[in-house]
Amino acid sequence: MEPDPPPEAAGTVTEDATRHEGGTELERTIGLTGGLAIGVGTMIGAGIFVFPGLAAGEAGPAAAVSFAIGAVVALLVALPTSELATAMPKSGGGYYFISRGMGAVFGAIVGISLWLGLVFASAFYLVGLGEYAVATLAEAGVPVGGGSLVVLLGIAVGVGLTAMSIGGTENTATLQNVVVAVLLLLLSVFLLYGLLDAVGVFGTETVPEQFAPQGYFPILTTAALVFTSYLGFAQVATVAGEITDPGRNLPLAMVGSVLLVGGFYVLTIFVATSAIGSDALEAAGETAIVEVAREFFGLPGAVAILFAGLLATLSSANASILSASRALYAISRDAIVPPGASRINLRYGTPHVALALVGGPVIVLVGTGQTELLAEVASFLHLVMYGLICVALLVIRREDPDWYEPDFTVPGYPIVPIVGALSSFGLIAFMQPTSQVVGFLVMVGALGWYAYYARDVRLKGGFTDD
């Protein structure tokens, strides 16, 4: 199988943009802070606002170790992704790396799956945003409606985020920076108070319980469950074509976001189990962290943490819509889908068609109000991509092409990418069978599309194919 041509065949990377034969691609307007905000903003969500109750119920206080294991696995993938990104700082992320390392067929499957997976995830985040907004209003005593308001809020925010992204990437990055900064401030205050409470500074007793009441095997199964909390760092690579000083900022943003978010997750479980215990967390379910905040600060604490959850879902949706459009933009440039999707708005310098082809389906999916399965499918597709990214690095390193000159290299090669690939593929086995089936069908559909449309179009256009 022959991979696609090296990056130089498609254009050159400059400090300001990536230039192609047909003109300029996307301007580089996202700095290190913006890259970190995309990675952190996409990930800092489920691990704090959804999983604490379930994880503590499965593994007790040892669930903190489960989150630490998830962070280690994420790092095993983030490091190879960082090397590939510094060698090929183009829009498309995992799709671009895999297509250049393993060929167009693998690239098409991953590219289409990544686009659809991010659309599914974006819809899930927007429904969650509507739920948190309604819950915040209800907790504050404001009378609200039911599920219809949740959907309407999700649709309204989805339209707004898409329109804002079309108006300029810097707008999206600015919103992301502000939202993530406020979110981290709220969570830092909450965790600092919780840590002081846990060690007895305030004179309250820590809830006594065994560290691993169910034994040590549940720590591993819980790690597989909560790994979905880390499916965000690679979104930084998806917008690599718009990152300034990519050789420095891409690795720092990806690795830094995993370390920062992993630290927050481990501290959250420690604080929560110390405050009210694993049994109470399990009984509270998805609102477990709200009950911990209520224990610390009363009603104002519950409202504040619900507002933080609203910010978390907003930042995740914002980053996912941006990343999904760049994935679609990249596969359109490579003739996997019709070329119209890679058109650039000359006024704003953004891929407005790709954004419309992301925002439209997202809004439709939000309207159904039933996106949980789609979110699990998104996790399945991301894990497949993560595993193949590690394989792509091994293939490219073995072939050692002249154009491959990364600014960052993986420490511990080849052990790190090998373990990263095995870990990513292995975690798929712990997912729900329905999600596995739907994810597999999406990949088969992507392969069918490639055979039906993309193969002939690419050959006529002079692309290298298998």
**pLDDT score for 458:** 67
For the cut 60, the answer to whether the pLDDT of residue 35 exceeds it is yes
How is residue 448 written in tokens? 């069918």
Superfamily for domain range 31-460: Amino acid/polyamine transporter I (1.20.1740.10)
Higher pLDDT, 454 or 292: 292
For the cut 70, the answer to whether the pLDDT of residue 459 exceeds it is no
Higher pLDDT, 464 or 427: 427
For residues 331 and 309, give the distance between their C-alpha atoms in angstroms, rounded to a whole number. 33
Residues 37/322, Cβ–Cβ less than 8 Å: no
Instruction: Determine the longest span between alpha carbons in the chain, in angstroms.
Output: 74
Residues 54/282, Cβ–Cβ less than 8 Å: yes
**Left (φ > 0), alpha (ψ -120 to 50) or beta: where does 104 sit?**
alpha
Q: Helix 372-399 crosses helix 104-139 at what angle (to 10 degrees)?
A: 140
Contacts of 300 (CB under 8 A, 6+ apart): none
For the cut 70, the answer to whether the pLDDT of residue 5 exceeds it is no
What residues form DSSP beta bridges with 24? 19
What secondary structure does DSSP assign to 70-111, as a single string? HHHHHHHHHHHHHHHHHHS--BTTHHHHHHHHH-HHHHHHHH
**pLDDT score for 412:** 92
For the cut 60, the answer to whether the pLDDT of residue 244 exceeds it is yes
Structure confidence at residue 208 as a pLDDT band (50, 70, 90): low
Average pLDDT over residues 453-461: 70
For residues 112 and 445, give the distance between their C-alpha atoms in angstroms, rounded to a whole number. 9
Hey, where are the domains in the chain?
31-460
Among 372, 328, 30, smallest CA distance to 162 is for 328
**pLDDT score for 22:** 47
Average pLDDT over residues 374-379: 76
What residues form DSSP beta bridges with 243? 30
Give the three-state DSSP class for 155.
Answer: helix
Higher pLDDT, 159 or 211: 159
**pLDDT score for 53:** 83
How is residue 238 written in tokens? 């998806």
List, for residues 272-331, the tens digit of each pLDDT value: 888 888 888 888 877 788 888 988 888 888 888 888 888 888 888 888 888 888 888 888
Higher pLDDT, 299 or 140: 299
For residues 444 and 441, give the distance between their C-alpha atoms in angstroms, rounded to a whole number. 5
pTM, two decimals, is: 0.82
Peptide bond into 414 cis (omega under 30): yes
For the cut 90, the answer to whether the pLDDT of residue 114 exceeds it is no
Residues 7/103, Cβ–Cβ less than 8 Å: no
Task: Name the strands in the sheet holding 23-27, side by side, starting at the edge strand that comes first in the sequence.
Answer: 12-13, 17-20, 23-27
**pLDDT score for 411:** 93
For residues 54 and 205, give the distance between their C-alpha atoms in angstroms, rounded to a whole number. 23
Give the three-state DSSP class for 25.
Answer: strand
Average pLDDT across the chain, whole number: 83
